[in-house]
Amino acid sequence: MAAAVRIHKTGGPDVLTYEEIQLKDPGQGEVRIKHTAIGLNFIDTYFRTGLYPAPGGLPMILGNEGAGVVVATGPGVTEFKAGDRVAYGTTPGGGYSTERNIPAEKLVKLTDKVDDKSAAGMMLKGLTAQYLLRQTFKVTKGHMVLVHAAAGGVGLILCQWCKHLGATVIGTAGSEDKAKLAKANGADHTILYRSEDFAAKVGEITKGAKCDVVYDGVGKATFPASLDCLKPRGMFVSFGNASGSIEHPNVIQLLQGKGSLYATRPTLVNYAATKEALGSMAKDLMDVVGSGAVKIPVNHTYALKDAAKAHAELESRNTTGSTVLIP
Ligand code: NDP
């Protein structure tokens, strides 16, 4: 019998309920996988609280990232067979489960160089880093990059990968320990943005030149000061709202006033929109992870049934790097 963590109503971590579920046989184009590890992401909390609506209504099984083994295939599936090690990071829910059915086109095969926990900790976060620094704004040698929440799941991957590409990285962090961790993962400079004026600090560090790009998954708390960290015609990439959504009556005018800035609010689903795009992004990610240039720091592990505890820790800013749930 399969089991899953579901929500029947939106709310705090206590709405997460571990229960038995009935799984149908995999349908046309679907694969049944047995999870070995499941990734926890800040976006899971948005679905839990209702900030983002549950795509298929309630009850909903949270979780968009996981790794496991194929146990059965539905009609029309030719690329996968029982026993294949696979991972995914772009499904709208279904991940917090011992087993699940998933469209084959959302899966990638794992290479021997990537273990299951790392895969579960990187498919959503690492693919996000991939599109942010290889597509949204192409980071190259010489760029000055600001990464907010640099010790977080996406943050630590961004720091390492930007460094690998030859950029100079400034990372903000909520504590001294987190700042140290960001430095150990590629940040050249760190700023304690809960106590320091981070825009002023960026000015000091760059001797007034400022940054080519700001990667901001924090949202409300760092806006609009993030715009003051950019050179004229720099790129503001707002990719998340860990502190709440940005609400500003006239962002367009702000962009003009702060120096002909560019701004975008990208999401992974629009970048990994096709099987081909997902495949090439996953290859890029597996290459940097397989070569050791980017390591996936899985710093916290919980049993799947303890997902509520994991959510509370993530929201309390007590986690760093990736957290995985083990079924
Ligand atoms: P993190 O591990 O980065 O956790 C969030 C971090 O945000 C915290 O550790 C904390 O770091 C910081 N933070 C700042 N303010 C708050 C606050 N008020 N409450 C809680 N945390 C706060 O999470 P993820 O790596 O899972 O995700 C990072 C961001 O990326 C999220 O906003 C997420 O939604 C977004 N995202 C977007 C995607 C997209 O395609 N657009 C895809 C994947 C993720 P500190 O203590 O250092 O401040």
70: tokens are 């194929």
The count of other CB atoms within 10 Å of the CB of residue 80 is 16
**CA 130 / ligand 1 centre spacing (Å):** 16
Q: Give the global pTM.
A: 0.97
Chain length of the chain: 327
Angle between helices 307-315 and 42-49 (to 10 degrees): 100
Going along the chain from its start, the domains and CATH numbers come out as 2-122+296-326 (3.90.180.10), 141-265 (3.40.50.720)
**CA 8 / ligand 1 centre spacing (Å):** 25
Give the torsion through C-alpha atoms of 172, 169, 321, 291, to 10 deg: 180
**CA 202, 222, 197: angle at the middle one, nearest 5?**
40
**CA 219 / ligand 1 centre spacing (Å):** 9
Q: What rounded mean pLDDT belongs to the chain?
A: 97
Strand-strand pairing, 230-238 and 211-216? parallel
Q: Is the pLDDT of residue 84 over 90?
A: yes
263: tokens are 């701004």
Distance (Å, whole) CA 324 – CA 89: 13
pLDDT band at 55 (very low <50, low <70, confident <90, very high): very high
**Rounded mean pLDDT of 224-228?**
98
Q: Is the pLDDT of residue 25 over 90?
A: yes
Question: What is the CB < 6 Å shell around ligand 1?
Answer: 41-43, 124-125, 128, 149, 151-155, 173-174, 178, 217-218, 221, 239-243, 266-268, 314-315, 317, 319
How high is the pLDDT of residue 92?
87
**Rounded mean pLDDT of 220-246?**
97
**For residue 301, which amino acid is it?**
T
**What are the two backbone dihedrals, phi and then psi, of residue 308, each rounded to the nearest 5 degrees?**
-60, -40
